[in-house]
Amino acid sequence: MPKLPSRSDPNRSLLRGLEILRAFRPGSDILGNAEIADRTGLPKSTVSRLTGTLLKAGFLFYAPQQHGYSLGPAVLSLSHAMRSGSILLQVARPIMLAEARRLKINVGIAIADRDEMVYLETLRFSGNSSLRQVVSGQRVPMALTSLGRAYLSTLSPEERRTQLSQLKSKHTRDWPTLRPEIIHAIQSIELNGWCAASWQPQVIALATPLLVEPQAVHILNISIHTPENIETVADRMGPELIHLKHKLIDAHHLVLG
């Protein structure tokens, strides 16, 4: 459950409205006010008032037959503006595409949002077509993935403690196993520049921080479907990931002059 804005917050209604938009996830196409209230922890009367406002603003669409709301076109428009306005994504995509084709791997760039990582770009050329499809905008858990663990490596000690505390509350049962894995991944970033993880069967992913000013922290990753062990894949693909990272940084700097 998200932390709700306090009564003294001058932007309380705005923040609550954004929490309502966050309630919509893949597989949750239509939500009624009661479902939104349950997901956000907001009073149903508040949800009813704010969904009406979001409807008028074009951020929600009302489906009378289902008695619920879906996301409106304004949300997609903002997403498109965010992606098309990123110089990093513009210069990265053709380079990522070439590397994905050359190595027959999946390549992605993601950014942190609360306790998850959100793909901004993903190009998938892995040999196993039966794998789940990953698209831009899809979320993956921070604690379990190489993407998330690489992001945690970029935080200051204080920020990391706060984020780890939040992750612990979400993964209480598995935390005795997850925490050492996260610490090991952070140490691997410091030593090698990348970390590896396998949270899907026979899918091994490597990730590295992609720091380009003045952008927010982005994380670059590659992944493959393989029966090999994680150490073998990491030793082989780690240098390829770092090579791709430097190509993206150089291309970004070139565009900015």
List the CATH number of the domain containing 152: 3.30.450.40
Residue 80 lies in a domain: no
Residue 7 is predicted with a pLDDT of: 59
Q: Are residues 134 and 48 in the same domain?
A: no
**One domain, residues 251 and 229:** yes
Domain end, chosen from 50, 74, 98, is at 74
Whether 224 and 193 share a structural domain: yes
The two three-digit tokens of residue 254, written as one number: 């070139």
Which residues constitute the domain of residue 25?
12-74
Same domain, yes or no: 131 and 153: yes
Q: What is the pLDDT of residue 4?
A: 58
Task: Let me know whether 61 and 91 are in one domain.
Answer: no
Total tally of structural domains belonging to the chain:
2
| pLDDT per residue as tens, the chain (257 positions) | 566 555 555 578 999 999 999 999 887 789 999 999 999 999 999 999 999 999 999 999 999 999 999 999 999 899 889 888 899 999 999 999 999 999 999 999 999 999 999 999 999 875 554 344 567 888 999 999 999 999 999 999 999 999 999 999 999 999 999 999 999 999 999 999 999 999 999 999 999 999 987 778 999 999 999 999 999 999 999 999 999 999 999 999 888 76
Of 43, 74, 105, the one marking the end of a domain is 74
* Residue 128 sits in the same domain as residue 241: yes
Residue 124 lies inside a defined structural domain of this protein: yes
Q: Which amino acid is at 128?
A: N
Q: Quick one: 61 and 183 in the same domain?
A: no
Residues 25 and 133 in one domain: no
Q: In the beta sheet, which residues pair with residue 108?
A: 122, 221
**Concatenated DSSP letters of the chain:** -PPPPPTT-TTHHHHHHHHHHHT--TT---B-HHHHHHHH---HHHHHHHHHHHHHTTSEEEETTTTEEEE-HHHHHHHHHHHHT-HHHHHHHHHHHHHHHHHT-EEEEEEEETTEEEEEEEEE--S-TTSPP--TT-EEETTTSHHHHHHHTTS-HHHHHHHHHHHHHHSTTTHHHHHHHHHHHHHHHHHHS-EEEEEETTEEEEEEEE--TTSPPEEEEEEEE-SS-HHHHHHHHHHHHHHHHHHHHHHHHHHH-
Same domain (yes/no): 103, 151: yes
* 120 and 167 inside one domain: yes
Residue 6, domain member (yes or no): no
CATH code, domain with 50: 1.10.10.10
Question: What per-residue confidence (pLDDT) applies to 2?
Answer: 61
Q: Is residue 1 part of a domain?
A: no
In residues, how long is the chain?
257
Residue 132 covered by a domain = yes
Q: Are residues 37 and 145 in the same domain?
A: no
Do residue 225 and residue 200 come from a single domain?
Answer: yes
Last residue of a domain, one of 74, 99, 125: 74
Whole-prediction pTM? 0.90
Q: What is the structure's pLDDT at 24? A: 93
